């Protein structure tokens, strides 16, 4: 497991949204940090860290072995079946007892009964909810004790499993009795095809007591009501609980500009306050690559005669719409941002760790930096993980990364009883309200692959559902994903569209290519050749992918140096796809030489992944506006393992992430057989020059062509078709086409094309790469002018380019 790195970045970023309570008497007591824990029934208390999980606390106490090493996952499984107690003592002086006090848990994982000084105050059953509770009457002068019982999520859900008259599928859940669907908890913790099973328990997000006098702010919100080029109409609303009848002065400022300056008369109890103001000629928030993600920072001050509260709030002005319209082909699926159709470029995001509290701010900063650097403008927060921390959304706001936000339901069917629905409703409202005002938020989506599951994965037969069972299950589905969730989105976040399920239609159906979004798994699961990606181009590719091995340093995090071979125990334990390692080998053998040396094999596995996915990415972008999005599976990893990711657990860029950076650039030169296309995501028409050079592998020029071009904005266009008679003159396995696009003097795009697959190329082994490091730049060249294919620079840092053809 990686060590936690504390960093200052969190503090800097949160300066934007933190509350500053100026009044002395208004304060909070952070209850994070040192706690104690033990297994229920044990007598000895051990030290614990909050936020944390029971697994990480056991590991820190040397009671279990590294959860990510070798096959330790199996040895650590017992933890999920036990109940665990956590406790913390804290001390209060009399002055605090005179105040109002509210205990705030941002996240309890999951079945938690909370006692304060021996009295039960919370019973929770949903990891995704936050809990706020008045505790004035429970607090004592001097020592206070907070105690929490976490019950085994697996055991706790068993009675629900046992009493339901039919089975609900949840194939990710690696227990015989698949109980995960009864518990509102991150689905991937029960196992997934890229991650281990670690069913965590604990206080996974911060906990504090808020002390207050006079008034308590329940909500303080700014949001966009209307947006035109001339003005943005902004609403300020607040929900304030007041102890007394009093006057409250509200001021909202943008820099020195006063937007609201008003007095409100508060009644005792709940008060709803509201006002509006305009921003003239607002600068728009734009996704990465389309403009700046402009953010406005407002100062909000609320004052009574005794108390002064201030908070900074950020806003980004933009309109966003999912366009799904019937057309001559089927039905469109694309996003319009500020009225402009945007080509979505990105990947599917999964939680960054099995032990979520280990993901510190520097890891969030690092991953979004990598996302932006690879020219992505959208991530899909996949439904088998979590609703992410606020910092994640803040960073996406700052970097122009649009977010497609799934609700947390994936690849399973869920119960529909009223307690479950009530729980989901509370979870959805909590999270919709928390996330709705982020300018990066582009879409709410009901679930991952559950509509597809119902119609295509054969469970009706497999689980022998009666007609009545089927009707019940489908009705529960409809109720959750076509009534409850869309209604809640309409009520609480009406400016953001809702999409029932991703994908719209399963990949076995022809319509999946002509309507809605698609998860195309004919490559990998269907074992089809990569070339099929160029034929199966959907309207919006929200999932498709291929696996690779991570680099050696990452492998060493879970295997010894003498286990560096594909059949070693840890390589199996860290490959969770049922068809994993042999599928990588199978595809490798089709298009690449299969190295016998393991380190070479790891490197080639990454080339295979990048090669395959670039066929998809280029074909999809060429097909714009028919296709308007490429989100591959998957951006990242939750542990050091072998998976579909482009970034490994430690944030290292695999060849795929470099390839994505290339293929997602604003301008892309792409070849389909002999035809050369240029894809432009630029919002301006431009004049450019395309230089094509057909060369042999010694650098000998065989044919060249220069074309002056006028490229229309936001378009893909066929520019030139190389005549057959030119290509046919040369041996196809000994030539390449080097294509460069210049705007003025500036090289804006480059691509190298081959006419046969990599393994058929007649490459010279007599290559002489040379290096020189100067002023922080690494210069690399080919000494004898011969082609060096997929040059890989092994470093401990990510570079601006790697795995490239020189
Ligand atoms: C997709 C995802 C995940 C899975 C991946 C690879 O469909 O939604 O469920 O990990 O496929 O199999």
Per-residue HEC secondary structure of 157-177 comes to HHHHHHHCCCCCCECCCCCCC
| Backbone phi, psi, residue 215, to 5° | -145, 155
Distance from Cα 415 to the centre of ligand 1, integer Å: 22
**DSSP-assigned letter for residue 744:** T
Mean pLDDT of the chain: 95
- Ligand 1 centroid – CA 409 distance (Å): 13
Q: Name the E strands within 659-698.
A: 667-672, 675-680, 686-696
Model pLDDT, residue 26: 75
pTM of the model: 0.96
CB 280 within 8 A of CB 228: no
Q: Is the pLDDT of residue 18 over 90?
A: no
Q: How far, in Å, from the CA of 719 to the mean position of ligand 1?
A: 36
**Distance between CA 753 and CA 531 in Å, rounded?**
14
Query: Which percentage of the chain shows pLDDT scores above 70?
Result: 97
Ligand 1, atom nearest to 383 Cα: 8
| Catalytic site includes residue 147 | no
| Site of tokens 């982020």 | 438
Q: Distance (Å, rounded) from C-alpha 253 to C-alpha 255?
A: 6
Q: What is the pLDDT of residue 695?
A: 97
Residues 6 or more apart whose CB falls under 8 angstroms from that of 723 comprise: 674
CA of 671 relative to ligand 1 center, distance in Å = 29
Give the per-residue pLDDT at 796.
85
Token representation of residue 607: 């080339």
Q: Tokens in use for 283?
A: 């600068």
pLDDT of residue 9: 39
Question: Which of 174, 189, 191, 193 maximizes ligand 1 atoms within 8 Å of its Cβ, making it the mutation to test the pocket?
Answer: 193
Over the stretch 98-122, which tens digit does the pLDDT of each residue have? Answer: 999 999 999 999 999 999 999 999 9
The rounded radius of gyration (Å) of the Cα atoms in the chain is 28
Average pLDDT estimate for 12-41: 70
Q: 577 CA to middle of ligand 1, Å?
A: 10
Mean pLDDT of 319-337: 98
On whether the CB atoms of residues 107 and 186 are closer than 8 A, the answer is no
Residue 25: the pLDDT is 60
Residue from 450, 584, 633 to probe ligand 1 pocket by mutation (most atoms less than 8 Å from CB): 633
Q: How many of the other CB atoms lie within 10 Å of CB of 734?
A: 19
Q: Which residues line ligand 1 (CB under 6 A)?
A: 192-194, 411, 448-449, 519, 543, 633
pLDDT in tens, 577-631: 999 999 999 999 999 999 999 999 999 999 999 999 999 999 999 999 999 999 9
Residue range 424-454, pLDDT digits in tens? 999 999 999 999 999 999 999 999 999 999 9
What atom in ligand 1 is closest to the CA of residue 192?
10
Burial class (CB within 10 angstroms; exposed 0-12, middle 13-18, buried 19+) of 555: buried
From 543, 544, 546, 638, give the residue whose CB has the most ligand 1 atoms within 8 Å, as the site to mutate: 543
pLDDT over 60 (residue 636): yes
Q: Which atom of ligand 1 is nearest to the CA of 382?
A: 8
Report CA(510)–ligand 1 centroid distance (Å): 20
Give distance in angstroms: CA of 362 to centre of ligand 1: 27
Q: Which of 73, 80, 449, 500 is catalytic?
A: 449
User: Which distant-in-sequence residues (6+ apart) come within 8 Å of 137 by Cβ?
Assistant: none
Closest protein CA for atom 6 of ligand 1: 193
Q: What is the DSSP letter of 550?
A: P
In angstroms, rounded to a whole number, what is the distance separating the alpha carbons of residues 48 and 309? 34
DSSP state of 647: B
DSSP codes of every residue in 328-378: SSSB--EEEETTEEE-EEEEEE--S-SSGGG--HHHHHHHHHHHHHTT--E
Q: Which atom of ligand 1 is nearest to the CA of 194?
A: 10
Nearest-CA residue for atom 4 of ligand 1: 193
Ligand 1 centre from 653 Cα, in Å? 21
- β-strand 746-754 against 769-774: which pairing, if any? unpaired
Instruction: Give every CB contact of residue 310 below 8 A, 6+ residues apart in sequence.
Output: 19, 20, 22, 299, 300, 301, 302
pLDDT for 13 equals: 38
Q: Tell me how far apart the terminal alpha carbons of the chain are, to the nearest angstrom.
A: 37
State what percent of residues in the chain have pLDDT above 90: 95
| 187 neighbors 195 (Cβ within 8 angstroms) | no
Q: Could you give the angle at which helices 598-622 and 655-663 cross, rounded to 10 degrees?
A: 20
- Span 399-430, pLDDT tens digits: 999 999 999 999 999 999 999 999 999 999 99
Maximum Cα–Cα distance across the chain? 92
Q: How far is CA 649 from CA 278, 386, 447, 545, 652, in A?
A: 45, 17, 25, 17, 7
Residue 1 confidence class, pLDDT cut points 50, 70, 90: confident
State the average pLDDT over residues 685-710.
97
In which element (H, E) is residue 155 found?
helix 153-163
Q: What is the 3-state secondary structure (H, E, C) of 114-154?
A: EEECCEEEEEEEECCCCEEEECHHHCCCEEEEEEEEEECHH
Ligand 1 nearest-atom number relative to CA 193: 10
């Amino acid at each position: 497991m990686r060590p936690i790195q504390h960093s200052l970045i969190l503090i800097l970023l949160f300066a934007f949204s933190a509350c500053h309570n100026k009044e002395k008497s208004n304060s909070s007591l952070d209850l994070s940090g040192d706690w104690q824990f033990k297994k229920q029934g044990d007598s000895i208390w051990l030290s614990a860290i909050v936020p944390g999980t029971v697994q990480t606390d056991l590991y820190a106490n040397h009671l279990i072995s590294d959860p990510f090493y070798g096959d330790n996952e199996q040895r650590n499984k017992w933890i999920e079946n036990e109940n665990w107690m956590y406790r913390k003592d804290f001390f209060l002086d009399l002055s605090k007892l005179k105040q109002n006090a509210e205990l705030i848990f941002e996240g309890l994982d999951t079945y938690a009964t909370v006692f304060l000084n021996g009295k039960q105050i919370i019973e929770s059953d949903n990891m995704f909810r936050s809990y706020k509770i008045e505790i004035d009457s429970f607090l004592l002068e001097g020592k206070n004790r907070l105690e929490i019982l976490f019950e085994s999520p697996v055991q706790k859900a068993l009675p629900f499993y046992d009493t339901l008259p039919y089975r609900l599928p949840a194939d990710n859940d690696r227990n015989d009795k698949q109980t995960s669907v009864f518990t509102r908890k991150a689905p991937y913790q029960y196992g997934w095809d890229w991650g281990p099973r670690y069913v965590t328990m604990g206080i996974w997000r911060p906990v504090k007591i808020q002390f207050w006098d006079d008034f308590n702010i329940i909500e303080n919100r700014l949001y966009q009501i209307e947006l035109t080029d001339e003005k943005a109409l902004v609403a300020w609303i607040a929900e304030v609980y007041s102890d007394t009848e009093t006057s409250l002065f509200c001021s909202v400022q943008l820099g020195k500009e006063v937007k609201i300056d008003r007095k409100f008369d508060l009644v005792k109890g709940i008060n709803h306050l509201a006002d509006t103001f305009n921003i003239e000629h607002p600068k728009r928030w734009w996704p990465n690559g389309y403009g700046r993600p402009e953010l406005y920072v407002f100062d909000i001050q609320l004052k009574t005669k005794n108390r002064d509260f201030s908070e900074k709030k950020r806003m980004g002005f933009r309109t966003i719409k999912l366009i799904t319209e019937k057309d001559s082909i089927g039905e469109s699926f694309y996003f319009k941002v500020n009225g402009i159709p945007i080509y979505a470029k990105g990947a599917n995001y999964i939680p960054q760790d099995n032990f979520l509290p280990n993901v510190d701010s520097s890891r969030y900063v690092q991953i979004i930096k990598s996302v932006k650097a690879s020219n992505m403008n959208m991530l899909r927060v996949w439904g088998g993980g979590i609703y992410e921390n606020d910092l994640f959304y803040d960073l996406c706001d700052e970097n122009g990364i649009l977010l497609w936000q799934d609700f947390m339901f994936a690849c399973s069917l869920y119960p529909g009883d009223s307690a479950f629905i009530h729980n989901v409703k509370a979870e959805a409202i909590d999270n919709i309200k928390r996330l709705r005002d982020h300018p990066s938020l582009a879409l709410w989506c009901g679930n991952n692959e559950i509509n597809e599951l119902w119609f295509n994965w054969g469970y009706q037969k497999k689980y022998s559902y009666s007609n009545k069972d089927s009707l019940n299950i489908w009705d529960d589905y409809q109720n959750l994903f076509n009534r409850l969730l869309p209604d809640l989105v309409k009520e609480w976040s009406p400016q953001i569209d809702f999409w029932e399920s991703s994908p719209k239609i399963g990949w076995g159906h022809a319509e999946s290519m002509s309507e809605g979004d698609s998860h195309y798994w004919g490559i990998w699961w269907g074992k089809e050749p990569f070339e099929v990606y160029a034929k199966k181009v959907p309207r919006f590719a929200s999932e498709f992918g291929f696996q690779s091995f991570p680099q050696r340093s990452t492998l060493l995090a879970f295997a010894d140096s003498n286990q560096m071979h594909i059949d070693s125990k840890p390589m199996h334990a860290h490959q969770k796809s049922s068809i994993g390692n042999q599928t990588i080998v199978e595809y490798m053998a089709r298009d690449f030489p299969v190295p016998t040396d393991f380190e070479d094999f790891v490197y080639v596995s990454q080339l295979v992944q990048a090669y395959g996915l670039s066929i998809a990415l280029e074909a999809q972008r060429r097909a714009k506006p028919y296709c308007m999005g490429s989100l591959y599976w998957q951006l990242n990893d939750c542990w050091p393992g072998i998976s579909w990711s482009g970034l490994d657990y430690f944030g290292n860029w695999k060849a795929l992430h470099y390839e994505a950076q290339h293929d997602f650039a604003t301008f892309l030169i792409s070849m389909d057989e002999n035809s050369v296309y240029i894809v432009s995501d630029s919002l301006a028409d431009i004049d450019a020059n395309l230089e094509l050079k057909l060369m042999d592998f010694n650098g000998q020029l065989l044919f060249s062509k220069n074309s002056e071009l006028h490229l229309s904005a936001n378009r893909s266009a066929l520019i030139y078709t190389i005549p057959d008679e030119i290509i046919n003159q040369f041996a196809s396995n000994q030539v390449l086409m080097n294509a460069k696009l210049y705007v003025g003097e500036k090289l804006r795009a480059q691509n190298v094309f081959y006419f046969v697959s990599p393994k058929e190329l007649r490459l010279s082994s007599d290559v002489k790469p040379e290096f020189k490091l100067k002023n922080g730049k690494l210069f690399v060249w080919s000494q004898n002018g011969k082609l060096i294919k997929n040059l890989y620079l092994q470093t401990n840092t990510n570079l601006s380019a790697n795995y490239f053809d020189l």
